[in-house]
Structure 1
Amino acid sequence: MKDLLHLLRRFIPPYKWKLIWNIVFNFLSAIFGAFSFLLLIPSLKILFGTQELVTTQPEIGFSVSAFTEYSNYLISQVIERYSHEQALVFIGIFIIVTVFLKVGFYYLANFMIVVIRNGVVRDIRSKIYRKILKLPLGFFSDERKGDIMARMTGDVTEVENSIMNSLDMMIKNPILIIVSIAVMVYMSWSLTLFVFVMFPIAGYIIGRIGKSLKRESRKGQSKMGEILSVIEEDLSGLRIIKAFNAENRATKRFEKENDNYFHIMNQLMWRRFLAHPMSEFLGTAIIIVVLWYGGRLILNDKGSLDAATFIGYLVFFYNIINPAKAFSTALYSVEKGLASMERIDKILYTKTAITEKKDAKTINDFQSKIIYKNVSFAYNSTPVLKDISLEIEKGKTVAFVGRSGSGKTTLVDLLPRFWDVSKGSIIIDGSDLRDLKIKDLRNLIGYVNQEPILFNDTFYNNIAFGMDDVTEEKVIHAAKIANAHDFIMATENGYQTTIGDRGDKLSGGQKQRLSIARAVMKNPPILILDEATSSLDTESERLVQDALVKLMQNRTSLVIAHRLSTVKNADMICVLHKGVMVEKGTHEELLASDGRYKKLHDMQMF
C-alpha cells in the first residue's frame, strides 16, 4: 500500500480535482444506496402492520433517526389517506428515485476516473520516452534493447491494466465499506465490533498471497524482457542465422526462454486466480459466523435487534463483503502492477550523466578553433583515451586513423557531448563544452555515421529530420548536393516515398547519400564523418565521396577513416593506438617519419 501511495503522489497531482470529484460522487452514490434500503425497513414494517402508524409529524433533522421517523410519517399519511396499495407505489417511486441518484453519481464518479486513469498512463509513457532520449549512450550499452522495449510496452500496459483499472475500486470500495459500517454501527455497535474481530484474519491471509504475487510478477516481466531481446537480436541477425544454418540453435535458445516464461506465468496466474475463491470463501465464512452470532442474540433476546432489522443488518454486512472481495482482488492486481512499476522506475530513476548547467552559455556559431586539452576518458573504470591534446582550426579537416578499438569514435563523440571527459577539457571558441547549452552545441555539429541511421518515413522527412521551417526547394537542393536526387525521383512517389524500416528498400550507397543530404540540410559549421565510405562498393564510394567533398567545403571536419586513401588530403592526420595519440601530421610528414602510419599505409598499399 505504501508503494501504491508513493506512485499516486507522483502522478495524480495534475488530476487532483478530478480525484476529489470522484470521491465526492462515490460518496454520494454510497449514501443514496445505503439510505434507500435503510429507510425501506421501517417503511415496510408500517406497511405490513408490524409497527404502529406514525400520526404526529416529527421535526426534520439531518440524522439517520430523523430521516427514518419522517419517512415513517409520510408512509403513515399515505396509508391513512389512500390505501396500503398506494403506499406500496409511494415506496416504489422512492426506491426508483434513490437508485437513479445512486447510479447517476456512480457514472459521474467513473467519468472522472477515466480521465485520471488514462492521463496517468499517458504521463508514465511520456516520462519514459523523454528519459530514454536524455540517457547517455552508455546506458544502452549495458541494457538489452528488448528489455527496454518491454518496459516501455509490456510494463506500462501492466501498470495500466493492474493499477489504473483498479484505481476506481481502490477509491469506491472503501467509501462503500465506510458508509455500510457507519449504518451497521448505528443499527448495532456490539455486533459490528464482533465483525471487526473477524476481518483482520482474512486481511492477513490475502496480504500474504498478494506479496508472493508481486514477486512472481517481477520475474515474469523480467523474463518477457529477455524474450523480446532474443526476438530483436534474431530479427536483426536473420541473414546470419540462415547463412550459418543456425535455425535450430536460435529456436532452442528462444524456446528455452519461452518455456521459462511459461512456468513463471503459471505460478503467477495460479496465485492470481486464487484471489477470488479465497475472498469468496473467507467472506462466506464470516457471514455464517455473523449469522450464528447475531441469530443467537435474537433467539435469546440479548441484543437490541429484532428479526427484521437483523435481516437488514445482514444486507448491509453483505454490502461490505462484495466491496471487500473486489478490494482484495484489486490489491492482487496492484501488487502485480507495482512489480512492473519497479522495472519502469529503473529507467526513470537512472541518473543522467550528461547534464546542463543552470547558467549555461548560448552559442550560435563556430568562430575560431576546437581544443582538446589533456583529455582522458574511461568507461566503467576502463581507460579508453589517455591524455589527448589537439587543436583544430576553423575550416580545417582533421582525420583520425588507427586500428579498431583505438578510441577514434570515442574521441569525436566527446565533441557533441555524447559522453563527458573523465579528465581534461574540450574547448570551443574559448568556452568549455560543459559550460554551453547542449542543444546549441549540437546544432553546430553534423553527423554522418558508418552505418546510416534512417527512419521508416519518407525521403523528404528523413532529409528534413529535426529541422523546422523546411521548404521543398531546400530539401531538393540538399539531395542534389548529396547525389541523391536522381535515385529519389526514380521511385514511385519521389520525395514522398517511404524508405522502409531503417531504409531497407535502399542500397548501402543510397542510404549513405541520404544521410549526407540530411547533414547538408542542417548546414552545420562542424562536421563529423565516421567511416562514411568503409562499407560501400567502388561505384557507390565514388558517388558518396563526391558528395562528401561538396559537404566538407568551408566546414571544419573531423573524419574517422580506415582507408587511408580517403584522408590523404586532410590538413592533419592523427594516429591513435590503444587510446593514445602516437603521431600527427600531414600525409607526407607521417610517411616520412616511418612510424605507425607508414606501417598502416604500406599494409593497405600491399
Structure 2
Amino acid sequence: MKDFLQILRRFIPPYKWKLVWNIIFNFLSAIFGAFSFLLLIPSLKILFGTQELVTQKPEVGLNVSAFSEYSNYLISKVILQYSHEKALVFIGIFIIITVLLKVGFYYLANYMIVLIRNGVVRDIRSKIYRKVLKLQLGFFSDERKGDIMARMTGDVTEVENSIMNSLEMMIKNPILIIVSVAVMIYMSWSLTLFVFVMFPIAGFIIGRIGKSLKKESRKGQHKMGEILSIIEEDLSGLRIIKAFNAENRAINRFETENTNYFKIMNQLMWRRFLAHPMSEFLGTTVIIIVLWYGGQLILNQEGALGAAAFIGYLVFFYNIINPAKAFSTALYSVEKGLASMERIDKVLHTPTQINDSSDAEDIDNFQSKISYENVSFSYNETPVLKNILLDVEKGKTVALVGQSGSGKTTLVDLLPRFWDVSQGRITIDGKDIRQLKINSLRNLIGYVNQEPILFNDTFFNNIAFGMDNATKEDVINAAKIANAHDFIMGYENDYETSIGDRGDKLSGGQKQRISIARAVLKNPPIMILDEATSSLDTESERLVQDALENLMKNRTSLIIAHRLSTVKHSDMICVMHKGKIEERGTHDELMKLGGRYKKLHNMQMF
C-alpha cells in the first residue's frame, strides 16, 4: 500500500482537483445509497403498523435521527390523509429519487476517474519515452533492447490494467466502507466493535497472498523482456539464421523461454484467481459469525437492536463485504502492477550522465579549431582512448585510420558528446564542450555513420529528419549532391515513397546515399563521416566521393576510413592503434615514414 501511495504522490498532482471531485462524488453517492436503506426501515415499521404514526411535526436537523423522524412524519401524514397504498407509492418514489442521485454521482465520480486514469498512464508512457531518448549510449550497451521495449509497452500496459483500473476501487470502496461503518456504529457500536476484530484477520490472509503475487509478477515481466529480446534479435538476424540452417536452434531457444514464461504465468494467475474465492469465503465466514453473535444478543435481549433494526444492520454490513471483496481484489491487481512499476522505475531513475551544466552556453558558429587535450576515455574501467592530443583546424579534413577496435569511432563520438571524456577535455574555439549546451553543440555537427540508420517513413522525411523547415527544393538539392535524386525519382511516388522498416526496400548503397543527403541538408560547419562510402558500389562511391569532397570544402571534417584510397587527399591522416595516435601527417609524409600506415597501404594495394 505504501508503494501504491508513492505512485499516486508522483503522478496524481496534475489531476488533484479531478481527484477531489471524484472523492466528493463518491461520498455523495455513498450517502444517498445509505439513506435509501437507513430511512426505509422506520418507514416500513409505520407502514405495516409495528410503530405508531408520528402526528407532530419534528424539528429539521442535519443528522440521521432528524431525517429519520421527519421521513416518518411525512409517511404518517400520507397514511392519515390518503391510505397505506399511497404511502407505499410515496416510499417507492423516495427510493427511486435517492437511487437516481446515488447512480448519478457514481457516474460523475467515474467520469473524473477516467480522466485521472488515462492521464496518468499517458504521463508514465511519455516519461519513459523521453527518458530513453535522453539516456547515454552506454545504457543501451548494458541492457537488451527487447527488455527496454517490454518496459515501454508491456509494463506500462500492466500498470494501466492493474494499478489504474484499481484506482477507482481504491478510492470508492473505502468511502463506501466508511459511510457504512458510520451508520453501523450509529445503530450498534458494540456489535460494530466485534466486526472490527474480525476484519484484520481476513485482511492479513489476503495481504500475505498479495505479496507472493508481486514476486511472481516481477518474474513474469522480466521473462517477457527476455522473450521480446529474442524476437528482436531473431528478426534482425533472420538472414543469418536461414543461411546457417539454424532455424531449429532459434526455435529451441525461443520455446525454452516461452515455456518458462508459461510456467511463471500459471503460478501468477493461480494466485490472482485466488483473490475472489478467498475474499468470498472470508467475507461469508465473517457474515455468519456476525449473524450468530448478533442473533445471540437479540435472542437474549442483551443489545439495543430490535429484530428489524438487526436486519437493517446486516444490510449495511453486507454493503461493507462487497466493497471489501472488491478492495481485496484491487490489492491483488495493485501488487501485480507494482512489480511492473519497479521495472519502469529502473529506467526512470537511471541517472542521465550527459547533461547540460548549470552555466552552459549556446554556440552558434565555429571559428577556429577543435582541440583534443590529453583526452582519455574508459568504458566500464576498460581503457579505450589514452592521452589523445589532436588539433583540427577550421576548414581542414582529418582522417582517422587503423584496425578495428583502435578507438576511431569512440574518438569522434566524444565530439557531439555521445559519451563524455574520462580525463582531459575537448574544446571548440577554446571552450570546453561540456560547458556548451548539447543541442547547440550538435547543431554544428553533421553525422554519417557506417551503418545507415533510416526510419520507416518517406524519402522526404528521412532526408529532412531533424530539419523542421526544409522545403522540397532543399531536399531535392541535397539528394542530388548525394547522388540519390535519380533513383528516388524512379519510384512511383518519388520523394513521398515509404522506404520500409529501416529502409529495407533499398539497397545498401541507396541507404547510405539517403543518409549522406540527410547530412548534406543539415549543412553544418563540422562533418563526421564514419565509413560514409563503405556501402557503395564502385561507380556510386566515386560519384558520392566527389560530392563529399565538394561538400567538405571550407568545412571541418573528421573522416573514419578503412579504405585508404578515400582519404589520401586529407589534410592530415592519424593512424590509431590500441587507443593511441601512433602516426600523423599527410599521405606522402606517412608513406615516407614507412611505419604502420605504409604497411596498411601496401596490404590494401596488394
* TM beyond 0.5: yes
Deviations 1:514-535 (A, max 9, x none): 1111111100000000011223
CA drift at 1:166: 0.5
Distance 2:156 2:527 in 1: 39
Asked if 2 retains the 8 angstrom alpha-carbon contact of 1:32 and 1:98, the reply is yes
Confirm or deny that 1:497 pairs with 2:497: yes
What SS does structure 2 have at the residue aligned with 1:242? helix
Q: 1:26 aligns to what?
A: 26
Asked if 2 retains the 8 angstrom alpha-carbon contact of 1:414 and 1:421, the reply is yes
In structure 1, give the amino acid aligned to 2:564.
Answer: L
| TM-score relative to the length of structure 2 | 0.99
Deviations 1:564-590 (A, max 9, x none): 111000000001101011111001111
Distance 1:517 1:495 in 2: 13
Asked if 2 retains the 8 angstrom alpha-carbon contact of 1:445 and 1:527, the reply is yes
Deviations 1:362-421 (A, max 9, x none): 100111100000000000110000000000000100000110000000000000000000
Confirm or deny that 1:131 pairs with 2:115: no
What SS does structure 2 have at the residue aligned with 1:317? helix
Asked if 2 retains the 8 angstrom alpha-carbon contact of 1:513 and 1:547, the reply is no
Distance 1:66 1:599 in 2: 104
CA drift at 1:551: 2.5
Q: 1:283 aligns to what?
A: 283
Distance 1:64 1:549 in 2: 90
Distance 2:34 2:439 in 1: 60
Q: 1:16 aligns to what?
A: 16
> 1:152-163 counterparts in 2 under 5 A?
152-163=152-163
> 1:552-591 counterparts in 2 under 5 A?
552-591=552-591
Distance 2:317 2:10 in 1: 35
Cα root mean square deviation, aligned: 0.7
Q: 1:175 aligns to what?
A: 175
* Percent identity between the two aligned chains: 83
Confirm or deny that 1:247 pairs with 2:236: no
CA drift at 1:552: 1.7
CA drift at 1:547: 3.0
Q: 2:309 aligns to what?
A: 309
Distance 1:464 1:451 in 2: 19
CA drift at 1:468: 1.9
Distance 2:241 2:99 in 1: 65
What SS does structure 2 have at the residue aligned with 1:146? helix
What are the ranges of 5 or more consecutive residues in structure 1 without an aligned counterpart? none
Q: 1:420 aligns to what?
A: 420
Structure 1 runs (4+) greater than 4 angstroms displaced: none
In structure 2, give the amino acid aligned to 1:128.
Answer: I
> 1:271-420 counterparts in 2 under 5 A?
271-420=271-420
| TM-score relative to the length of structure 1 | 0.99
> 1:198-217 counterparts in 2 under 5 A?
198-217=198-217
What are the ranges of 5 or more consecutive residues in structure 2 without an aligned counterpart? none
Distance 1:119 1:550 in 2: 51
In structure 1, give the amino acid aligned to 2:41.
Answer: I
CA drift at 1:68: 0.4
Aligned residue-pair number: 606
What SS does structure 1 have at the residue aligned with 2:61? coil
What SS does structure 2 have at the residue aligned with 1:452? coil
Confirm or deny that 1:479 pairs with 2:479: yes
Distance 2:585 2:307 in 1: 104
CA drift at 1:324: 0.2
Q: 2:99 aligns to what?
A: 99
> 1:252-263 counterparts in 2 under 5 A?
252-263=252-263
What SS does structure 1 have at the residue aligned with 2:389? strand
What SS does structure 2 have at the residue aligned with 1:377? strand
> 1:29-40 counterparts in 2 under 5 A?
29-40=29-40
Distance 2:542 2:252 in 1: 44
Confirm or deny that 1:534 pairs with 2:526: no
Distance 1:9 1:210 in 2: 22
CA drift at 1:221: 0.1
What SS does structure 2 have at the residue aligned with 1:224? helix
Q: 1:57 aligns to what?
A: 57
In structure 1, give the amino acid aligned to 2:123.
Answer: D
Asked if 2 retains the 8 angstrom alpha-carbon contact of 1:374 and 1:424, the reply is yes
Distance 1:527 1:313 in 2: 81
What SS does structure 2 have at the residue aligned with 1:384? strand
Distance 1:32 1:451 in 2: 67
